[in-house]
Amino acid sequence: MRRRNGAAASFVLACLAACGAVTAAAAPPDATALRTFAEMVKRHRETPSVTVKCEIEMLTPKPGQPLERTSRTAEIVFSKGGRGRLTYDDYTVYVGDGRIRLIHKSNDAQFFEVEATEFINSFIVYDCFGRFDRIPLPHLAVFWGGDDTEELLMEIFADTPDLLPRSVSDRTVDGQPVRTIELKGDESSMSINLDPRTMFIRSITHRSPAPFVPEGEQTHAYLFTYTVHDPPLEPGSFAFQPGARTKIDDVTLLVPRPEPPEGEAREMEAPAPRPAGQWVGKVAPAFTLTGGDGRTVALGDLRGKVVVIDFWAVWCPPCRAALPELHRVAAWAKEKGLAVEVYAINTFEAGAGPADKRTGAMKYWREQGLTLPVLFDLDNAVAGLYGVTGIPATFVIGPDGVVVSQHAGFPSDYAESLKRAIEKAAGGGGKD
């Protein structure tokens, strides 16, 4: 675990002590706070050239254990017009020309490339980095998120998409003026502390229920340092240079999971998990899950049909965007008379326990008028078996039980690529 300097740590911990817990109110967002949030985003995106260094600390209670402290650092270089670069742990991400390109320190032979998405925070942190330690990077949404403020609010901290601006206030901290936007959700809160002159973010404190600890609270604390470049950096100074690297289309293959040491025992009742893309052309791992209607579904019982499974969660904006498209694909298959079963597998869900996860997911399902059958992967075991490290992740399985294709995230051709995979599967299975 990385350590950071004592001064920065003291500042962040002081923020934690100073910002009290807040609770949500079922009311529209405060108009002044909403305008302040929008102005903050606008001022960031109009900056000709800037580097933002970020120090992050996550405090998580664990059952019967001391408070867990996790630290991260990140650096974002942004240029007006949308070009930029992110470095985070051993990853480097390049954004520009409508594309996202990703490399990893351990792999000097390949890079991953995909069309840019307005759900960039969720996509990079969860789908690309494959992190489920819940450390979003709010600046990704601030710099590169969509233009719709409502969607942007859902994306700035994707784990808690119900956050809305409730108040804005000005105060003085250590002799410095600070403007604070308070956002509140049903069970979570966020304080965004701004420099009122530049509207740059000085710090963020986010609080939400701790996983698996009733009444426990998880805290993310961010401290930011800005360097405005004058004159602005040349675009080439942070442009992507592939060198000898070759492009891959499956981000899960960028950092392959190591094979177990020779002779190490494996579980006999199930195949070992693989990185998601490596299941293509192989028999899909068997599973039995309970649905939202209380009935159980076993993959083995569906042989002879094409099966589409989509891993999703309520807190995930690209998952929510993909679900209506998934419904349209299912309707298309039915109209064509294809023998296709489509299931939405809820996994990596937020909630204090299985009952909370089920209740929250089904509440969202009903509110959105969604009708496809939902299955619950409450312990994330099936997602792990399929090598899923980012969601949404969609698999098309042929009538012979072989995986035909795997789709990561929510690209612009999501529905069409699923249709092509279904037609391929219906025409003869997935073995190459």
| 337-341: average pLDDT | 94
Task: Give 344 or 354, the one with higher predicted confidence.
Answer: 344
Task: Give 97 or 397, the one with higher predicted confidence.
Answer: 397
What is the extent of the structural domain holding 158?
Answer: 31-254
Q: How many CB atoms lie within 10 A of CB 109?
A: 9
Q: Are residues 203 and 295 in the same domain?
A: no
The residues facing 83 across adjacent strands are 79
Contact 256, 277 (CB under 8 A): no
Instruction: Grade residue 187 by pLDDT with cuts at 50, 70 and 90.
Output: confident
Q: Let me know if residue 35 belongs to a domain.
A: yes
Q: Let me know if residue 62 belongs to a domain.
A: yes
- The 3-class secondary structure across 270-314, one letter per residue, is CCCCCCHHHHECCECCCCEEEECCCCEEEHHHHCCCEEEEEEECC
Listed in sequence order, the residues at least 6 apart from 56 whose beta carbon sits closer than 8 Å to its beta carbon are 71, 72, 73, 74, 135, 220, 221, 222, 223
User: How much is the pLDDT for 311?
Assistant: 95
User: How much is the pLDDT for 239?
Assistant: 82
Q: Let me know if residue 273 belongs to a domain.
A: no
CATH code, domain with 208? 2.50.20.10
Most confident of 11-15, 42-46, 123-127, 211-215: 42-46
Alpha-carbon span 406 to 250, nearest angstrom: 9
Q: Are residues 218 and 290 in the same domain?
A: no
Q: How many residues does the chain have?
A: 432
| 168-187: average pLDDT | 93
Most confident of 19-33, 91-105, 151-165, 192-206: 192-206
Q: Let me know if residue 275 belongs to a domain.
A: no
With b for 16 or more beta-carbon neighbours within 10 A and e for fewer, the 3-15 pattern comes to eeeeeebebbeeb
State pTM to two decimals: 0.64
Instruction: For residue 182, give the nearest of 198, 169, 196, 197 by alpha carbon.
Output: 169
Instruction: Grade residue 169 by pLDDT with cuts at 50, 70 and 90.
Output: very high
Q: Residue 304: pLDDT above 90?
A: yes
Q: Residue 258: pLDDT above 90?
A: no
Alpha-carbon span 108 to 245, nearest angstrom: 6
Q: Let me know if residue 112 belongs to a domain.
A: yes
Averaged pLDDT score across all residues of the chain = 82
For 89-209, where are the E strands, in sequence order?
A: 91-96, 99-104, 107-115, 164-173, 176-184, 189-194, 201-209
Contact 374, 252 (CB under 8 A): no
Question: Containing H/E element for 343?
Answer: strand 340-346
User: How much is the pLDDT for 86?
Assistant: 93
> What is the number of domains present in the chain?
2
Share of the chain above pLDDT 90, in %: 47
Tokens of 16: 């934690």
Amino acid in position 347: T
The domain boundary residue, chosen from 238, 254, 270: 254
